[in-house]
Amino acid sequence: MSKNVLVTGGAGFIAHHVIATIIKNTDWNIVSLDRLDFSGNLNRLHDIMQDFPQADRRRIRVVYHDLKAELNPQIQDALGDINIVLHLAAGSHVDRSIQYPMEFVMDNVVGTVNLLQYARTLKNLERFVYFSTDEVFGPAPDGVSYRERDRYNATNPYSASKAAGEEMCVAFENTYGLPIYITHTMNVFGERQHPEKFIPMVIQKARDGEKVTIHSNADKTQAGSRHYVHALDVADGLMFVLNLDPSKLERDFGGAKCPKFNICGLEEVDNLTLAQMIARAQGKELNYEMVDFHSSRPGHDLRYAMSGDYLKSLGWEPKIKLSERINDMVQWSLSNTRWLRK
């Protein structure tokens, strides 16, 4: 049976891959709710729609709205009867959050509450999914990979605002009975990512022979590391989560609801190794400099790490190795250079 899905931030980087995955694998109708700022680009949706016939393209509608404002009756009428809400819209730039913390409170906390309030009015709501981040857990010591229920330790206004959004989701499920899931993702990459992000930036600099800055520890012997994951794997993990039997999922300590899922990459890689991988995919030698970025800049952490064991125990993990994903993205980017331009 067809469903109606609301995707907030639908013209954003991760969300447009989610939309493409839904169109490819279901008969669902999609409403993309977006304010179309610097991170929202309708060209992303235009590009992915070229891969689908006209009948599928008609399954997507775009509605303009800034979630800092309540969803008024006119917006609600434009959205129609919604069965699933996928809340991906968020301010996500750490540096900007340090400079303008209240902006991130408005986007990621107030915006989330406005959407939750709207969700309470939906008579046929089956699921509300809040997309959060690994950064709510804070920096990870060597050998530690955070699980879904580990304590939070936000180290910058961005991660604090996302953690606050999570807590509002938990509160709305427990108080009002909203059927909510929370996902944590980390260092997502893929086609049509903003060119300032690390992987597209390295692709461009390696192509042009420019020096790449690698953030490191104070003595410049250890590069920062992450579990990178492709946006298509995030979308695939999300579809898996949406099809789970809720009665068989873990509950929080004390019986609270709101199941949580870490959607992360198969392997941890440090940023120097990753940059060298990107350069090799172009037949280039990497020109780089290690720079102590973390000890001198509060809110920027050297290592983040999450465990994907819970989703793996349920039957999901990324199907394609990081090296293959990186090689494919490099080749795609070199053939679609407009997405490398700042």
The one catalytic residue in 146, 158, 181, 228 is 158
**What secondary structure does DSSP assign to 141-208, as a single string?**
-TT--B-TTSPP---SHHHHHHHHHHHHHHHHHHHH---EEEEEE-SEE-TT--TTSHHHHHHHHHHH
Q: Residue 109: CB partners within 8 Å, gap ≥ 6? A: 161, 164, 165, 168
Give the tens place of pLDDT for each residue, 233-286: 999 999 999 999 988 787 666 666 789 999 999 999 999 999 999 999 999 999
Q: Answer yes or no: 134 catalytic.
A: yes
Q: What are phi and psi of 15, to 5 degrees?
A: -60, -35
Q: What are phi and psi of 212, to 5 degrees?
A: -100, 130
Instruction: Tell me the mean pLDDT in the region 294-298.
Output: 64
Instruction: Tell me the mean pLDDT in the region 296-319.
Output: 87
The one catalytic residue in 34, 107, 134, 166 is 134
The one catalytic residue in 107, 135, 148, 317 is 135
Helix (H, G, I), strand (E, B) or coil at 309: helix
- Is residue 298 over pLDDT 70? no
Instruction: Tell me the mean pLDDT in the region 141-152.
Output: 93
- Is residue 17 over pLDDT 90? yes
- Which residue segments constitute the domains of the chain, with CATH numbers given? 4-188+227-263 (3.40.50.720), 194-226+267-303+321-340 (3.90.25.10)
Give the tens place of pLDDT for each residue, 20-49: 999 999 999 999 999 988 777 899 999 999
- Residue 200, Ramachandran bin (φ over 0: left; ψ between -120 and 50: alpha; else beta): alpha
Instruction: Tell me the mean pLDDT in the region 214-234.
Output: 92
- What CA–CA distance (Å, rounded) separates 260 from 277? 32
Q: How confident is the model at residue 299 (pLDDT cuts 50, 70, 90)?
A: low
The pTM of this model reads: 0.95
Tokens of 105: 């409170």
- What CA–CA distance (Å, rounded) separates 257 from 196? 37
Helix (H, G, I), strand (E, B) or coil at 278: helix
Tokens of 318: 């990324």
- Is residue 179 over pLDDT 90? yes
338, exposed or middle or buried, with CB in 10 Å at 0-12, 13-18, 19+? exposed
Q: Answer yes or no: 135 catalytic.
A: yes
Q: What pLDDT is recorded for position 297?
A: 63
Give the tens place of pLDDT for each residue, 63-74: 999 999 999 999
15, exposed or middle or buried, with CB in 10 Å at 0-12, 13-18, 19+? buried
Instruction: Tell me the mean pLDDT in the region 140-144.
Output: 92
Give the tens place of pLDDT for each residue, 68-108: 999 999 999 999 999 999 999 999 888 889 999 999 999 99
Q: What pLDDT is recorded for position 193?
A: 95
| Averaged pLDDT of the chain | 93
Q: Which of 35-49, 140-154, 292-306 has the lowest mean pLDDT?
A: 292-306
Q: How confident is the model at residue 342 (pLDDT cuts 50, 70, 90)?
A: confident
Instruction: Tell me the mean pLDDT in the region 163-172.
Output: 96
Positive or negative: CA dihedral 132, 133, 136, 137? positive
For residue 95, the one-letter residue type is D
Q: What pLDDT is recorded for position 287?
A: 96
Q: What pLDDT is recorded for position 294?
A: 64
Nearest to 191 by CA among 339, 12, 37: 339
Q: Answer yes or no: 301 catalytic.
A: no
